[in-house]
Amino acid sequence: MSGKAVVITGLGLEFPGIAGAASMLNALSASVEPTEFTPADKLGRQGLRYKDRATKLALCAAQSALLDAGLPVAAAEQVSPESFGAVVSSNLGNVDTVCRVLDTVRVEGVDSTSPLDIPNLSSNVIASSVAIRFGLKAINLMVCNGATSGTDALHLAANAIRAGRARRVLVAAVEPANPTVVRLMEESDKSYHESQGGLRLGDGAGAVVLESGDAAAERGVRAYARLGGYGYDGTGDAARSLREALKGADSLPGLWLVPNCAHGPAAAAVGRGLEVWDERPPERADLSASLGETYGALGVFQCIAACLWLRALPGRLAAATTGSCWGDGCASVVLYDASAP
């Protein structure tokens, strides 16, 4: 395996209602029923008191991914922390905190705000919290650019490794389903999709550990998959983004993880995307049918599912596509069996 290859060595999932990352594919058979979220059971109580739900979800998923990759979760024990980065995707992660503080300022004045809330107003709070807790001192990015955000986060992390800015990057994605998010997404659903309500939101976080091929080899760990090409189309055309991502691939994917087909624009984009396969349609999976709308987190959830599928069916490749449903573009990424050249 080339040292410039980017491989996935750890998977983590915190989605109340799913036991863990290894159960992601099993969850495709039915809608996930939410269960209670108790982050202290995984993380302990210290340091959680003033964290919002999205940050707690992301921390749990990140810790699970690090453990799965055989890496420390204590910052002081982290392996090569100066070359270990963090990239996090979330569009709505701390919107509840922002709205609560703005309401306080509007009604009571700025003197009534809590100084403990102010640090949590930055959209980067999730990425910084992950980096601080687990000792990740290299590149630190927060990606908040719509439905393709999770896919874009994977691509940015892989580019950081290929460019030598990091040897490892923890990529996490989270979207919470608190009352503020529910209200905002329902209003957006009516605007973009002319829906009359009934939008089901997912509530959870996923995380993966990316490493350069030589970094993984030095640790002697088995990778789930190798990250391949990336394609983006600003018009929301799934076929174009897939063709771009598949450049250089010697075969077509056997699995295509698609955008949320409950939305008409995304369903239409998937129909056009099937043109890439001509008369040989792949197995298709719509994670949103079981998870609900997970917006900027979907790309990382798809990555986890693709890794599990490739582990079960070595020698294959999978594709994942997000976007085309909230007035945004469309992004695709290809994942290969890690043992393939």
Residues 30 and 151 in one domain: yes
224 falls within a domain: no
Say whether pLDDT at 1 is over 50: no
Residues 292 and 252 in one domain: yes
- Region 249-266: what's the mean pLDDT? 90
**Residues of the chain with pLDDT > 90: what percent?**
61
Query: How many helices and strands (H and E) does the chain possess?
Result: 11, 10
The C-alpha atoms of residue 283 and residue 285 are separated, in whole angstroms, by: 7
Q: Which DSSP string corresponds to 15-54?
A: -TTS--GGGTGGGGGSPPPP----THHHH-STT-TT--HH
CB atoms within 10 A of CB 132: 14
Instruction: Please say which residue of 156, 190, 219 terminates a domain.
Output: 219
What pLDDT does 18 receive? 92
CATH classification at residue 32: 3.40.47.10
261 falls within a domain: yes
Instruction: Please say which residue of 173, 192, 219 terminates a domain.
Output: 219
Q: Provide the residue range defining the domain that includes 25.
A: 6-219
Distance (Å) of CA 194 to CA 183, 190, 199, 264, 265: 15, 4, 12, 10, 11
Residues 47 and 152 in one domain: yes
| Residue pair 254/162 in contact by the 8 Å Cβ criterion | no
Residues 148 and 270 in one domain: no
The C-alpha atoms of residue 147 and residue 118 are separated, in whole angstroms, by: 27
What pLDDT does 217 receive? 94
The C-alpha atoms of residue 225 and residue 220 are separated, in whole angstroms, by: 15
- 3-state secondary structure at position 145: coil
28 falls within a domain: yes
Number of domains observed in the structure of the chain? 2
Instruction: Please say which residue of 219, 250, 270 terminates a domain.
Output: 219
Residues 115 and 181 in one domain: yes
Residues 197 and 275 in one domain: no
187 falls within a domain: yes
Residues 87 and 114 in one domain: yes
| Residue pair 152/331 in contact by the 8 Å Cβ criterion | yes
Residues 162 and 300 in one domain: no
- Region 237-241: what's the mean pLDDT? 93
Residues 150 and 255 in one domain: no
Residues 179 and 316 in one domain: no
61 falls within a domain: yes
In this predicted model, what pLDDT tens digit does every residue of 176-217 receive, in sequence order? 998 999 999 898 888 888 777 778 999 999 999 999 999 999
1 falls within a domain: no
What pLDDT does 33 receive? 86
Residues 293 and 262 in one domain: yes
63 falls within a domain: yes
Residue 287 structure tokens:
């994670």
The C-alpha atoms of residue 134 and residue 43 are separated, in whole angstroms, by: 11
Residues 30 and 110 in one domain: yes
pTM of the model: 0.94
In this predicted model, what pLDDT tens digit does every residue of 41-94 receive, in sequence order? 888 888 777 888 999 999 999 999 999 999 999 999 999 999 999 999 999 988
